[in-house]
Amino acid sequence: MTEPVPVVDVSEKDPRGDRWSTRRFSLRGRVTLLAAASVAGAVALVSLGAYLVVKDNLYQQVDDNLLARAQAAVDSPQVQTELQQVPGAFLASADLQIGQLTVGEKIRLTFPQSGSRPPYGADEIAVATGDKAFSLRTDPKTDSRVVALPQGDGQAMVLAQSLGPTKRTLNELSVVLFLIGGAGILVAAAAGTAVARAGLRPVDRLTSAAERVATTGDLRPIPVSGDDELARLTQTFNTMLGTVAESQERQRQLVADAGHELRTPLTSLRTNLELLLSASRPGARTLSDEDRSDIEADIRGQLDELTQLIGDLVELARQDEPRIEHERVEMVDVVERALDRARRRAGEIEFDVSLQPWVLTGDTSALERAVLNLLDNAVKFSPEGSTVGVRLYPIGDGTAVLEVEDSGPGIADEDLPKVFDRFYRSSEARTLPGSGLGLAIVQHAAQRHGGDVYAGRAATGGALMTLRLPGAPA
């Protein structure tokens, strides 16, 4: 008793199963198969049409020849032989079976002694008796074409010609058409393979590049040649690789900058905590109430700084995610909500607000966070009792600007190109709370909505931040 052969599901258990399946039904194979099948179909239709046309013509020629010979036999004069008179056509019909059918008291068929007897039946008898004008049929027993024409007086001339030569010609034609069609299919398959190999070479490069990216993370672009659809596909793939490389570089830079910015508050926080723990040990020098209060204040400030920094990092990471759903955004409502939040921590600083309706499609929370960062930044640099100007108005080119003007010392010329960089803080801002990410978040939100943000000087000498966004008047 033999053991049953185990059946292996290649698609699930064999890691090469998908690879085999892909190769068996690869695009190159499908192109080759399609080319061969198309040519095979065309050759088959043409060959069949040619065969049928030639067949009809050959059989028509046989029929026309038989009818003409039969009419000539009917019209030929009688020739006296030693025994009887016979049609003269008997003497010139070596390639045919010919006979004279006489219907009277009995049916008699006269044919040349040197020839063979033509077949006859009811159709030929009907022609001899005058019931039919003529007959033309194929005799299945002798595989010949038989024609009968009336001669009068109960007689009919019967001629038969074998279809063997005609069928041999048709057989030879079918063999020739088959060989030519087969050669055409092979040539088409070879041409399809060559075209598929040449045409899909860029696809192979794309596949190799994708495998290289998946294996090594190498995001180098692929060389582009030509200007066809595959070349544009390669260019699009290179653009995607560039976008991925840029995203990875931003992530690496964000992590590096975040690590650098976190190191200082964490070190300071650890130092203060160790100082408090050391002072609480038995026999250690105790801290005065004033020193303890200062250390605790430092710890609270460092925790606030860490909280803000982590929140800004989370916001940047969230903004880097693709957003599919957008909503109608009323910028007046966004600015007013941001003003409500900014007033609660502005102290004695006032806001001079002038808002005109403006509507766009986007992310409400991201825009509100950007506006709030601009307001907080203005409050941070404005002295107590001053005023922060907030204006929203269209400028006539399909965009509107939100201007936030503070009463602070302004931005130095050397700092203007850098204020929107992540973690950048000017020398005046390093003594103030903040993570250096607020304006970077504003720029990111503006660019995501098709706009931009600019830094400049106000007429009063303070900083002027301008957020420009596309949209329409409400």
Each residue of 199-214: pLDDT tens digit? 777 777 778 877 887 8
Q: Per-domain residue ranges for the chain?
A: 28-167, 219-323, 327-473
Is 45:38 a contact under the CB 8 Å cutoff?
Answer: no
Residue 393 reports pLDDT greater than 90: yes
Supply the pLDDT for residue 11. Answer: 40
Average pLDDT over residues 58-74: 88
Least Cα distance to 146 among 122, 114, 110 occurs for 122
**H/E stretch holding 78:** strand 78-80
Give the contacts of 350 (CB within 8 A, at least 6 positions apart). Answer: 386, 387, 388
Identify residue 188 by its one-letter amino acid code.
A
Alpha carbons 64 and 70: distance in angstroms, whole number: 10
State the average pLDDT for the chain.
Answer: 79
Structure tokens at 33: 């198969």
Judge if 28-167 and 219-323 fold alike in CATH terms: no
Band of pLDDT at residue 8, cut at 50, 70 and 90: very low
- Which CATH number is associated with domain 28-167? 3.30.450
Assign domain 219-323 to its CATH architecture. Orthogonal Bundle (1.10)
Average pLDDT over residues 274-290: 79
- 327-473 classified as CATH 3.30.565.10: yes
Band of pLDDT at residue 114, cut at 50, 70 and 90: low
Q: Which has more confidence, 407 or 114?
A: 407
Residue 308 reports pLDDT greater than 80: no
Band of pLDDT at residue 389, cut at 50, 70 and 90: very high
Please tell me the least confidently modeled range out of 153-157, 204-208, 237-241: 204-208
Instruction: Give strand ranges (E) for 380-451.
Output: 387-394, 399-405
Is 151:39 a contact under the CB 8 Å cutoff?
Answer: no
Residue 2 reports pLDDT greater than 50: no
Supply the pLDDT for residue 3. Answer: 45
What's the distance, CA 175 to chain centroid?
A: 44
Average pLDDT over residues 122-127: 90
Instruction: Give strand ranges (E) for 281-398.
Output: 327-330, 350-355, 359-362, 387-394
CA 80-83-88 angle, 5° bins: 35
Please tell me the least confidently modeled range out of 57-71, 196-210, 334-348, 392-406: 196-210
Query: Which range among 25-29, 314-318, 390-394 has the greatest average pLDDT?
Result: 390-394
Supply the pLDDT for residue 241. Answer: 84
DSSP 392-407: EEE-SSSEEEEEEE--
Average pLDDT over residues 355-382: 88
pTM over 0.75: no
442-463 burial, b for 16+ CB within 10 Å, e for fewer? Answer: bbbbbebbebebbbeebeeebb
Residue 53 reports pLDDT greater than 90: yes
First-to-last alpha carbon distance for the chain, in angstroms, is 87
Alpha helix ranges (H) inside 81-163: 122-128
DSSP state of 321: S
Give the contacts of 282 (CB within 8 A, at least 6 positions apart). Answer: none
Supply the pLDDT for residue 401. Answer: 94
Band of pLDDT at residue 394, cut at 50, 70 and 90: very high
